[in-house]
Amino acid sequence: MQFGITTLFGILVFAIVTGIVWRLASRRRELPCPAWLHWCVELDNPFTKTNRAAFIVEHLRLEEGMAVLDAGCGPGRLTVPVAKLVGASGVVVAVDVQSGMLDRARQKVAASGLNNVQFLNAAIGDGKLPNTCFDRALLITVLGEIIDPKAALKEIFNALKPGGILSVTEVIFDPHFQSCGTVTALASEVGFMVKERWGHKLAFVLHLAKPNVA
């Protein structure tokens, strides 16, 4: 009994210390969640409903034929359900900086029989996205992994159509967690307007709109 409690405590301390070191190191250089940890990303965390794929997808209000950018798609946790909802007349562009993550996403898309997903191995913020293309963009537990988050948000802003929506999710369990205040401030600087928010300070989904100028 005593041994079990000590082991659990040891694992908890190890996880917290690793998270803190990872977070601090990420401020100096890009240290994304490694591809071998894809299984961890794919878990639908039972403690934070705002990071569950079903919750995020439901609030996107997707329609058939929409074009969606999955920025930092990882192993395709969101890519597959979103591609199903936009249908054959829609498209999902799944972008990730790590080819290992994209390989995993490709496998899942192929296994689902979908052919409306395009993959792009690129870093958001490096200017590889097309302009004024997307109805929706997803940035789910990605922003804190990006060294220049403002450049990334600016690129996504330009890639959205007027009236398009960027959905950002952040959860405290992620070592790269960004507060709602930080995300809102950066997003406002590049032109986004806050539209809606769900959850609380430690786990939230934030919808940011690109103004619909006439």
Ligand X SMILES: C[S@@+](CC[C@H](N)C(=O)[O-])C[C@H]1O[C@@H](n2cnc3c(N)ncnc32)[C@H](O)[C@@H]1O
User: Letter for the amino acid at 138?
Assistant: L
In whole angstroms, how close is the CB of 210 to ligand X at the nearest point?
Answer: 19
Decide: is 145 part of the binding site for ligand X (CB under 6 A).
yes
CB-based contact 144:176 (threshold 8 Å): yes
Phi-psi region of 163 (alpha: psi -120 to 50; beta: other; left: phi over 0): left
Decide: is 74 part of the binding site for ligand X (CB under 6 A).
yes
Among 22, 26, 41, 173, binds ligand X (CB under 6 A): 41
Among 66, 94, 140, 156, binds ligand X (CB under 6 A): 140
Q: Which residue is nearest to ligand X (CB)?
A: 74
What is the side-by-side order of every strand in the sheet holding 134-140? Answer: 117-121, 91-96, 67-71, 134-140, 160-171, 203-209, 193-200
Decide: is 155 part of the binding site for ligand X (CB under 6 A).
no
Q: Interface with ligand X by CB under 6 A: which range of 15-23, 120-128, 155-163, 191-199? A: 120-128
CB-based contact 109:92 (threshold 8 Å): no
Residues in touch with ligand X (CB under 6 A): 32-33, 41, 72-74, 77-78, 95-98, 101, 123-125, 140-142, 145-146
